[in-house]
Amino acid sequence: MAPWMEVAMLTMEDCLGLANLEAEEVAQIATHEHLPFMTALEKGAAFLNEPWGDAAVRQMVWDNLCRAHHNPAETATLLALYNDTCARHPNPFDRRHSPHRAAETRHWH
C-alpha cells in the first residue's frame, strides 16, 4: 500500500451512531425481521430515513415485547427498552395516514 493512502475503518459503535440506533434496538429489529445483526442495522437505518421510521422501530420492539409475555424477565427488559425507544424515536408519524396511501385505490371484495 502506498504511504499516502490512508485506511479508515468504521467500528460497530460508529455504525450504530450513524444509524441513530442502540445495539439493543438493532437486536430487536433482527429478532422481529429474522435478520442477521448487520442486516438489521442497515434496515433500521433505512427505516429512520423515512417519515414513518421511528414508528416502525417502536412497533418492532412492541411486537417483540408482546411475544415475550410468558417470560417475566424478558418482558421487563423489553418494556424498559420500549420506553427508551419511545424517548429516542418520538416521531408520531403514522404511515397509515400518509397522503400516498390515501391516494391508492382500494378494492374491497
* Residue 88 domain-assigned (yes or no): yes
Q: Which of 76, 68, 64 is nearest to 25 (CA)?
A: 64
pLDDT at 92: 83
pTM of the model: 0.80
pLDDT at 109: 46
- Residue 21 near residue 48 (C-beta atoms within 8 A): yes
pLDDT in tens, the chain (109 residues): 566 778 888 899 999 999 999 999 999 999 999 999 999 999 999 999 999 999 999 999 999 999 999 999 999 999 999 999 999 999 888 766 666 555 555 454 4
How many domains are contained in the chain?
1
pLDDT at 95: 67
Q: Which domain holds residue 35?
A: 20-93
| H and E: helices and strands count for the chain | 6, 0
pLDDT at 3: 67
* Residue 87 domain-assigned (yes or no): yes
* Residue 102 domain-assigned (yes or no): no
* Residue 11 domain-assigned (yes or no): no
* Residue 31 domain-assigned (yes or no): yes
